[in-house]
Amino acid sequence: MTMAHGKSSDEIRRNFLDLLRFSGDEAHLAKILAEAERFLREEDGTKKFSVRVARAQKKPAHELIKHLVGSRDVVEEEIDPSLIAGMKVIVNDEMAFDGSLRSKLDRLFSSAG
């Protein structure tokens, strides 16, 4: 695939990684890519839904929240055993819903003290 100025996407990726190595920012690659992804989502109006569940579900994550998700939105599912039960839905990297048993137990014990 040819991109801007006749450079291939592989060449652009290579140059970008070389720049990160040269500047000493290679360790921050994940943060840089996440921020770029967030910026692009803002530009085109899509949302990212992260669904965290305690264990694998019979239905995929996008089925569990299909009433919230648009056709172009991104849905990621993550198994998080620390939740014990229930789920968390995080929209655009900001907490939206925490229906986990862990959260309920934390609230119960923090108000009991």
pLDDT digits (tens, 9 = 90+) for 7-37: 788 898 899 889 989 999 889 999 988 888 8
Residue 79 has what pLDDT?
92
SS3 of residue 18 by DSSP: helix
pTM value is 0.65
Let me know: does 88 contact 72? Beta carbons within 8 Å: no
Q: From CA 69, how far away is CA 57, in angstroms rounded?
A: 18
Domain ranges, ordered by start, for the chain: 1-45, 48-113
Residue 38 has what pLDDT?
85
Let me know: does 77 contact 54? Beta carbons within 8 Å: no
- 36-66 pLDDT, tens digit each: 888 888 898 899 998 898 888 888 877 878 7
Residue 72 has what pLDDT?
87
- 72-84 pLDDT, tens digit each: 888 889 999 888 8
